[in-house]
Amino acid sequence: MKRKYIKPAGLLMAVCIAVTGLAGCGKEKVATRTDFALDTVITIAAYGQSDEGILKEPFNRIRELDGKLNAFSEDSEISKINAAAGLEPVAVSEDTFNAVKKGLEYSEKTGGAFDITIGPLVDLWKIEAPGEGVVPEQSDIDAARALVDYRKVVLDEAAHSVFLKDPGMKINLGAIAKGYIGDAVKSVLQSEGVERAIINLGGNVVLLGGKSNREPFTVSLENPEDPLSNGSISDASTLGVLRERDNSIVTSGDYERYFIGPDGKRYHHILDPKTGYPAESGLHQVTVITDVSADADALSTSFFVMGLDQAMAYIGETEGVEAVFVTTDNRIVATKGMEDAFIFDEQNYGNQYTLEFTEP
C-alpha cells in the first residue's frame, strides 16, 4: 500500500501562491520548477534567476529528507526508530535527530497537544488514506492512545540516537516534516546565491525575500468551506491574501484530509492526543506566519488542537508568531500584527465571515 505522511495532492493546497503573483512579475526572470514529491505538488520559483538548473539541488534535498523522515517508508530513519521501540536506541543522521528534537520541543511547549509519538493513532485512523476511513473501536483507540507519550522519547545528543521506551510506540513527523524540509530548501537556495524565492511544498509556503525590494510576495489563503479539490490554483476560492516577505506561512485545517463517518460527522487528520479522536476545538483552519517554517508547521497543528483561546495565549507569550484563525462559527480572527498584511476579500466573503483583529 502506498503510504504517506503528507496530505495527498489536490486536497492540500491550504495556502497557495496566487498564479497572478508569479505571472505579474513583469519582465523579471524567474526560474520555476514544479514536481511531485512528499506526496504533494512542490513548486519552487527563484526570482532573478534564469537557469532552472539551480533548482536541481533543492529538489534533491527534498527527496533526501523525505527518505529519512517519512514514517510510511520502511527504510526511513523514523521507521528504524519505530521498529526498535522498547528495544534499543537508534543512531540517526543530523537531519533526523534535529527534526525529532524540534518536534519534541513543541510536544513539551504545548503540553502534548502536539505529540510526535502520535503514530499509533495515525495508523489506527488510517488518515493517510482519505476516503477509506472507518471510525475505530473505542478499545482500539484507548490502546493506541496509551502508546502516545512524547515524554517516553529519549534523545542522546552525543550518540545522536533516538529511543522510544515502550514497544509499539511510533514517531510520526507528519505535522512538522514539511516545515523542516522547507527550511532546508531555503538554505540550499541561499547557498546557491538566490535572494528571492517562493517555495511551495503543497501549501506549506516559505518566502525568501520579497517579490522585489519594495514589494512583498502575495500568498492566497484558501477558503476552508470551499477548498481546492484539484490542485489548480486558478480555481481556488480564497478568503484573501497575505502580503509577506522572508516568512513562512503554514496552514492546518480539518478539510485537508478527512472522511465522513456513518454518523455524518467529519473525521479529519488532526488528532487530539488526549482523546484519541480528531480535534474538536472550534477551529476550521489555522494559518501561522513565522520566520522558521518548522515552527509555523508545528504551531499550526498545535493551535488547531488547542483552540483559539489557548492559541492566542500562547502567541501572547511568544515572540514573532502571527496567525489567522477561521472558526467553525465563521469568524476570522487574526492577530493584531496581521492588520496590514492580511487583506480580506470582503466583497466575496463579507456575508459569510466576520473579521476581527485581536491583541494576543
Inter-residue contact 28 to 21 (CB < 8 Å): no
Whichever of 145 and 211 has its CB closer to ligand AMP, that residue is 145
Query: Taking CB under 5 A as the rule, does residue 116 contact Mg ion?
Result: no
Q: What are the strands, taking DSSP E only, across 148-265?
A: 153-156, 161-164, 197-201, 204-208, 217-222, 238-244, 248-253, 258-260
Whichever of 124 and 207 has its CB closer to ligand AMP, that residue is 124
Query: Taking CB under 6 A as the rule, does residue 293 contact ligand AMP?
Result: no
181 binding partner (options ligand AMP, Mg ion, none; Cβ < 5 to 8 Å by kind): none
User: Residue 352 is which amino acid?
Assistant: Q
Query: Taking CB under 6 A as the rule, does residue 271 contact ligand AMP?
Result: yes
**Min separation Cβ 359 and ligand AMP, Å:** 25
**Min separation Cβ 204 and Mg ion, Å:** 8
User: Residue 188 is which amino acid?
Assistant: V
Of 233, 297, 308, 324, which lies in the binding site for ligand AMP, with binding defined by CB under 6 A? 297
Select the span of 21-29, 152-160, 230-238, 269-277 touching ligand AMP (CB under 6 A).
269-277
Sheet holding 90-91, edge to edge: 90-91, 161-164, 153-156
Query: Taking CB under 5 A as the rule, does residue 204 contact Mg ion?
Result: no
**Dist CA 336 CA 317 (whole Å):** 14
What backbone torsions phi and psi does residue 41 show, to the nearest 5 degrees?
A: -90, 125
3-state SS string for 287-332: EEEECCHHHHHHHHHHHHHHCHHHHHHHHHCCCCCEEEEEECCCEE
Query: Taking CB under 6 A as the rule, does residue 238 contact ligand AMP?
Result: no
Query: Taking CB under 6 A as the rule, does residue 254 contact ligand AMP?
Result: no
Query: Taking CB under 5 A as the rule, does residue 256 contact Mg ion?
Result: no
Residues in 154-173 that interact with ligand AMP by CB under 6 A? 172
Query: Taking CB under 6 A as the rule, does residue 30 contact ligand AMP?
Result: no
**Dist CA 251 CA 232 (whole Å):** 17
Query: Taking CB under 6 A as the rule, does residue 252 contact ligand AMP?
Result: yes
**Min separation Cβ 195 and ligand AMP, Å:** 28
Query: Taking CB under 5 A as the rule, does residue 297 contact Mg ion?
Result: yes
Query: Taking CB under 6 A as the rule, does residue 219 contact ligand AMP?
Result: no
Residue with cell 527534498: 62
Whichever of 164 and 271 has its CB closer to ligand AMP, that residue is 271
Kind of pairing, strands 354-358 and 40-47? unpaired
**CA distances in angstroms from 204 to 90, 94, 155, 198, 350, listed in the order given:** 29, 23, 28, 10, 26
- Helix pair 94-109, 177-191: axis angle to 10 deg: 130
- What is the total count of residues that contact ligand AMP (CB under 6 A)? 19
115 binding partner (options Mg ion, ligand AMP, none; Cβ < 5 to 8 Å by kind): ligand AMP
**Min separation Cβ 20 and Mg ion, Å:** 27
Whichever of 104 and 271 has its CB closer to ligand AMP, that residue is 271
**Dist CA 112 CA 24 (whole Å):** 43
Pattern 172-211, ligand AMP, x by CB under 6 A: x-xx------------------------------------
Beta bridge partners of 44: 33, 199
Of 85, 141, 144, 175, which lies in the binding site for Mg ion, with binding defined by CB under 5 A? 175
Inter-residue contact 209 to 47 (CB < 8 Å): yes
Query: Taking CB under 6 A as the rule, does residue 66 contact ligand AMP?
Result: no
- Write b or e for each residue in 30-49: b if 16 or more Cβ atoms lie within 10 A of its Cβ, otherwise e: bbebeeebbbbbbbbbbbbb
Query: Taking CB under 5 A as the rule, does residue 301 contact Mg ion?
Result: yes
Query: Taking CB under 5 A as the rule, does residue 332 contact Mg ion?
Result: no
Residues near ligand AMP (CB under 6 A): 5, 114-116, 118, 122, 127, 172, 174-175, 252, 269-271, 273, 297, 300-301, 305
Residues near Mg ion (CB under 5 A): 175, 297, 300-301
